Structure 1
């Protein structure tokens, strides 16, 4: 008898994009960003519901906003829309507080790429202080959320 692989989808939002990282047996297998879906909570809800229906994860991980000082009001509204979509699935929904034990996101991304070499393909270069944050950082925020289930 074969067992069904254990799947986790971690999903989050920033003010101008939403993204997910999909893991099968604790390994990142797919990830995606959607910029247009971040234009409103309704579009975010629809996109998240599409992703949930397509991937059918066992667990959906979202960011716990209690005490979060890093997300703006728009991003918080988008994350709430994602949570609403997650509650309508058969998947278990878990909220995790995002932790960053490293000095900065890029150091954390380097560590994640060392652990998961497949993620090097989308790893953003360190930005200069006046550059905008690269979109791919959202994928790594999702991966951090998913990894918190392993600890």
Structure 2
């Protein structure tokens, strides 16, 4: 499958975010705190994003095993996938493999590649501070980049496409 328009959706505690790429270029990104509150709200928000952007492919994180994501976050990701299924949009899941020492280093590298998102680059947090909301943009973008890199190497996605 040749996906030109990609919507990558990431979920974390208290937020669900997306990055939208067209032709490998970042065109939009956003987040919803409301979507993280319940499975129904995650489903509705994902469906709205998918209906608006009409991507060729939805990319989500592969969370079946070996992930640190909590059960609620896993269910949010499953709801996003179900929204794609309902709209008949192909979905691929990507195993998140960190190539950087932490999320902030990864975000900085992504901001260099996609300078339009640089103003949203989160500063590294102190141990007692909550994770910055903007991190979710970079997690979604990293999912898209991971899928694109795997496709260039001919590896496909972690568990295939639906």
TM range (shorter): over 0.9
* Rounded Cα–Cα distance in structure 1 between residues aligned with 2:146 and 2:66: 17
- Partner in structure 1 of residue 144 of structure 2: 146
Work out the number of aligned pairs and report it: 147
Question: Following TM superposition, by how much is the alpha carbon of 1:59 offset from its aligned partner in structure 2, in angstroms?
Answer: 0.7
* Rounded Cα–Cα distance in structure 2 between residues aligned with 1:98 and 1:18: 16
Question: Following TM superposition, by how much is the alpha carbon of 1:33 offset from its aligned partner in structure 2, in angstroms?
Answer: 0.5
For residues 123-138 of structure 1, the aligned pairs below 5 Å read: 123-138=121-136
TM value normalised by structure 2? 0.87
Q: Deviations over 1:61-98 (max 9, x none)?
A: 01111223321111111111111111122322111111
* Rounded Cα–Cα distance in structure 2 between residues aligned with 1:47 and 1:121: 24
Runs of 4+ in structure 1 over 4 Å off: none
Q: Deviations over 1:112-133 (max 9, x none)?
A: 1111111102111111111100
SS at 1:32 equivalent: strand
What is the aligned-residue RMSD (CA, Å)? 1.3
SS at 1:98 equivalent: coil
Instruction: Please state if 1:10 is matched with 2:8.
Output: yes
* Rounded Cα–Cα distance in structure 1 between residues aligned with 2:123 and 2:35: 25
Q: Deviations over 1:31-78 (max 9, x none)?
A: 011001211000110010011001100110011112233211111111
Runs of 5+ consecutive residues of structure 1 not aligned to the other structure:
none
* Rounded Cα–Cα distance in structure 1 between residues aligned with 2:123 and 2:13: 20
- Partner in structure 2 of residue 32 of structure 1: 30
* Rounded Cα–Cα distance in structure 2 between residues aligned with 1:27 and 1:122: 17
